[in-house]
Amino acid sequence: MRTTNSPLRLMLFDATCTGKPLRPGLTHSWVAGGWLYQKMGRLDEVRGVESWEEGLRWLAEVESERPIAEIQFWGHGKWGSAKVDHHVLDVRALEKGHRYRPLLEAIRDRLVGPEALWWFRTCETLGCEPGHEFARRWTQFFECRVAGHTYIIGPWQSGLHCLKPGEEPDWPVDEGLAEGTPENPKKALWSKSGEPNTISCLDNDHLCLER
């Protein structure tokens, strides 16, 4: 049973992908998904943001007396990065002097430890060489688990992998790649039910995420 002192399970989503009149964008799906996950008891707080600075600040400050067990980000991604609108989050943000670094340090201080999870439910973020490097650097900096996908995701979400602190990526460096090379990817494959490590958008667990 969760209490007001339990570690937080948080979700961020990109609030800028609103589509056109009479044609809803992905933000509407992420709003609905966040609402459903809260109703199912999978998340404690959900926040839509228009920039990474806004999102990271919220993660650093929300219910600051409580530690964080899980962070999910629902939005767009490319190999080795995640995006809010045109704002990019990648390994450069971990460097000293980067404007995001103080917020990332504050978030790191709130995590429960190596079993904490940062899950990028985004397209391609852990795919190819840039994705391997992202996973490696993220776990080193936060000393927690990082999860993400190697395919373009939607209702099906393929290529889900999780890296723990001290581990090296063990998924194929070309998994999910449609065009280009692992070093210089150009196009990713769409998720399908028969592809490796596939879950649906309604799933919140997988063998690779088990503690």
pTM for the full model? 0.94
CATH architecture for segment(s) 8-209: 3-Layer(aba) Sandwich (3.40)
**Could you tell me which residues come within 8 angstroms of residue 162 by beta carbon, excluding any fewer than 6 positions away?**
117, 145, 146, 147, 208, 209
User: 173 phi and psi, to 5 degrees?
Assistant: -70, -15
pLDDT, position 25: 86
Query: What single-letter amino acid sits at 176?
Result: G
Distances (CA, A) of 196 to 122, 125, 161, 211: 16, 16, 10, 20
The Cα 114–Cα 206 span in angstroms is 18
User: 70 phi and psi, to 5 degrees?
Assistant: -150, 140
Residue 210 has pLDDT above 80, yes or no: no
Distances (CA, A) of 6 to 2, 71, 76: 6, 14, 29
User: 40 phi and psi, to 5 degrees?
Assistant: -85, 0
Q: So where are the chain's domains?
A: 8-209
Lookup result for tokens 């964008």: 25
- Can you read off the two tokens belonging to residue 71? 């962070």
Provide the mean pLDDT of the chain.
94
Counting Cβ atoms within 10 Å, is residue 58 exposed (0-12), middle (13-18) or buried (19+)?
middle
Residue 52, strand partner residues? none
User: 94 phi and psi, to 5 degrees?
Assistant: -85, -10
Residue 177 three-state SS:
strand
Instruction: Quote the Cα angle for 203-169-198, to 5°.
Output: 25
pLDDT, position 2: 65
Residue 65 has pLDDT above 70, yes or no: yes
User: What average pLDDT does range 63-82 have in this prediction?
Assistant: 97
Counting Cβ atoms within 10 Å, is residue 12 exposed (0-12), middle (13-18) or buried (19+)?
buried
Closest CA to 50 of 85, 100, 79, 25: 85
User: What average pLDDT does range 24-31 have in this prediction?
Assistant: 89
User: What average pLDDT does range 186-199 have in this prediction?
Assistant: 96
